[in-house]
Amino acid sequence: MNFVEFRKKWTPKIDQYLEEHLKQDIDDKKISQIMTYSVMAGGKRLRPLLFLATLDSLNKDITNSEVQIACGIELIHTYSLIHDDLPAMDNDDYRRGKLTSHKKWGEAEAILAGDALLPLGIQWISEGSKSYELVEIITSAVGPNGMVGGQYLDIDSTNNASVADDEVLIDRMEWLKTGCLIEACVKMGAVYAGADENSKTNLIKFADNFGRAYQIYDDLVDVVQTSKEAGKATHKDQENGKNNTLTILGIEQSRSELTKLITEAKANLASLNNEVLTGFLDLYQKVL
Amino acid sequence: MNFVEFRKKWTPKIDQYLEEHLKQDIDDKKISQIMTYSVMAGGKRLRPLLFLATLDSLNKDITNSEVQIACGIELIHTYSLIHDDLPAMDNDDYRRGKLTSHKKWGEAEAILAGDALLPLGIQWISEGSKSYELVEIITSAVGPNGMVGGQYLDIDSTNNASVADDEVLIDRMEWLKTGCLIEACVKMGAVYAGADENSKTNLIKFADNFGRAYQIYDDLVDVVQTSKEAGKATHKDQENGKNNTLTILGIEQSRSELTKLITEAKANLASLNNEVLTGFLDLYQKVL
Directed axis angle between helix B107-129 and helix A132-142, to 10°? 160
When pLDDT is averaged across residues A78-86 and rounded to a whole number, the result is 98
Residues of chain B short of pLDDT 70, as ranges, are 159, 226-241
Distance CA(B114)–CA(A13), nearest Å, equals 32
- Residue B50's pLDDT is 98
Shortest Cα distance, chain B CAs vs residue A137, angstroms: 9
Residues in chain B: 288
Residue-range domain boundaries for chain B: 3-280
- Best mutation target, B21, B31, B181, B191, to test chain A (most A CBs within 10 A): B31
pLDDT digits (tens, 9 = 90+) for A29-77: 999 999 999 999 999 999 999 999 999 999 999 999 999 999 999 999 9
> What does the pLDDT read at residue B233?
61
- Give pLDDT, residue B226: 65
Tell me what pLDDT residue B232 has. 60
Residue B119 to residue A143, Cβ atoms within 8 A: yes
Distance between CA atoms of residues B159 and A196, nearest Å: 58
Cβ contact, residue pair A112, B155, below 8 Å? yes
Position A28: which residue type? D
What angle, 0 to 180 degrees and rounded to 10, lies between the N-to-C axes of helices B180-192 and B197-224? 150
Element (H, E) at A68: helix A64-85
Chain A positions touching B116 (Cβ under 8 A) are: 143-144, 148-149, 152
Q: Could you please report the per-residue DSSP string of chain B? A: --HHHHHHHHHHHHHHHHHHHHHHS-S-HHHHHHHHHHHTS----HHHHHHHHHHHHTT----HHHHHHHHHHHHHHHHHHHHHHSTTTT--SEETTEE-HHHHH-HHHHHHHHHHHHHHHHHHHHHHH--HHHHHHHHHHHSTTTHHHHHHHHHHHTT-GGGTT-HHHHHHHHIIIIIHHHHHHHHHHHHHTT--HHHHHHHHHHHHHHHHHHHHHHHHHHHHS-HHHHTS--SHHHHTT---HHHHHHHHHHHHHHHHHHHHHHHHHTTT--HHHHHGGGGGGGG-
* Dist. CA A180–CA B121, nearest whole Å: 19
Q: Is some CB atom of chain B closer than 8 A to the CB atom of A231?
A: no
C-alpha dihedral over B224, B226, B228, B233, to 10 degrees? 90
- Kindly give the pairing relationship between strand A98-99 and strand B94-95: unpaired
Report pLDDT for B246: 84
Is the minimum CB–CB distance between B41 and chain A shorter than 8 Å? no
Q: How far is CA B81 from CA A183, A217, B38, B55, B92, in A?
A: 31, 37, 9, 26, 10
Q: What residues contact residue A119 under an 8 Å CB cut-off, 6+ apart?
A: B118, B122, B138, B139, B140, B142, B143, B148
3-state class (DSSP) for residue A44: coil
Q: Mean pLDDT of all residues in chain A?
A: 93
**A116 vs B231, higher pLDDT:** A116
Most A CBs within 10 A among B127, B145, B180, hence the mutation to make, goes to B145
Q: Cβ distance B107 to A88 under 8 Å?
A: yes
Contacts of B156 in chain A (CB under 8 A): 30
Q: What Rg, from alpha-carbon coordinates, does chain A have?
A: 18
Closest residue in chain B to residue A102, using alpha carbons only: B88
Q: Which residue of B has its CA nearest to A155?
A: B108
* Interface residue B160 vs chain A (CB under 8 A): no
- A280 pLDDT higher than 90: yes
Per DSSP, A89 falls in state T
Chain-chain contact of B132 with A136 (C-beta, under 8 angstroms): no
Query: What distance in Å separates the CA atoms of residue B98 and residue A95, rounded to the nearest whole number?
Result: 37
B236 compared with A280, residue with greater pLDDT: A280
Alpha-carbon distance of A72 to A230, in angstroms, equals: 24
The Cα of A96 is separated from the nearest Cα of chain B by a number of Å equal to 23
- Percent of chain A at pLDDT > 90 equals 80
Nearest to B189 by CA among B72, B281, B282: B72
Burial letters B159-191, b for 16+ CB under 10 A, else e: eeeebeeeeebbbbbbbbbbbbbbbbbbbbbbb
Mean of pLDDT values over A204-231? 84
Report the percentage of chain A scoring pLDDT > 70. Answer: 94
Quick check: A108 contacting B, CB < 8 Å?
Answer: yes
Tell me, yes or no, if A127 comes closer than 8 A to chain B by beta carbon.
Answer: yes
**Which residues on chain A are in Cβ contact (under 8 Å) with B119?**
118, 122, 138-140, 142-143, 148
Please tell me if residue A5 touches chain B, with a CB cutoff of 8 Å.
Answer: no
Q: Which amino acid is at A157?
A: S
B257 vs A244: which has the higher pLDDT: B257
CATH number 1.10.600.10 is the correct assignment for the domain at A3-280: yes
Cβ within 8 Å, pair B109-A142: no
Cβ–Cβ below 8 Å for B120 and A129: no
* Per-residue model confidence (pLDDT) at position A167: 86
Residue A259 touches partner B, C-beta closer than 8 Å: no
Which of A54, A59, A45 is CA-nearest to residue A12?
A45
Please state, in angstroms and rounded to a whole number, the distance separating the CA atoms of residues A188 and A122.
12
* Partners of A95 in beta bridges: A98
B23 touches chain A (CB under 8 A): no
pLDDT (0 to 100) of residue A114: 98
A139 touches chain B (CB under 8 A): yes
Residue A86: pLDDT band with limits 50, 70, 90: very high
As a whole number, mean pLDDT of residues A250-258 equals: 93
A67 and A123 in contact (C-beta within 8 Å)?
Answer: no
What count of other Cβ atoms lies within 10 Å of the Cβ of residue B197? 7
| Of the partner residues B28, B31, B145, the one whose CB lies closest to the CB of residue A26 | B145
B109 touches chain A (CB under 8 A): yes
Crossing angle of helices A132-142/A180-192, nearest 10°? Answer: 170
Whether B156 has its CB under 8 Å from any CB of chain A: the answer is yes
Nearest to B26 among A112, A136, A144 (CB): A144
| Amino acid identity for residue B170 in this structure | I
CA angle B93, B98, B100 (to 5 degrees): 40
Is the Cβ–Cβ distance between A116 and A78 less than 8 Å? Answer: no
- CB distance A118 to B123 below 8 Å: no
- Chain B's closest residue to A106, CA to CA, is B88
Closest CA to A88 of B123, B101, B17: B101
How many CA atoms within 13 Å lie on the side-chain side of B12? 4
Q: Give the helix/strand (H/E) hosting A20.
A: helix A3-24
User: Hey, how many other C-beta atoms are within 10 angstroms of the C-beta on A122?
Assistant: 30
DSSP state of A149: H
Q: Is residue A103 within 8 angstroms of chain B, CB to CB?
A: no
B116 and A149 within 8 Å at the Cβ level: the answer is yes
Contact at CB, B30 and A107, closer than 8 angstroms: no
* Confidence band, pLDDT 50/70/90 cuts, at residue A109: very high
What are the beta bridge partners of residue A94? A99
CB spacing of B132 vs A135 below 8 angstroms: yes
Nearest C-alpha neighbor of B173 from the set B218, B137, B130: B218
Average pLDDT for A137-141: 98
Q: Looking at residue B227, what is its pLDDT? A: 58
pLDDT at residue B85 in the model = 97
pLDDT computed for residue A239 by the predictor: 64
Q: How many residues does chain A have?
A: 288
B111 contacts on A by Cβ (under 8 Å) = 83, 86, 88-89, 111
In this prediction, residue B229 carries a pLDDT of 64
Looking at residues A77-95, what average pLDDT do you find? 97
Contact B149 A116 (CB under 8 A): yes
- State the Cα–Cα distance between residues B198 and B184, nearest whole angstrom: 18
Test B83 with A115 for CB contact under 8 angstroms.
yes
Residue A135 near chain B (CB below 8 Å): yes
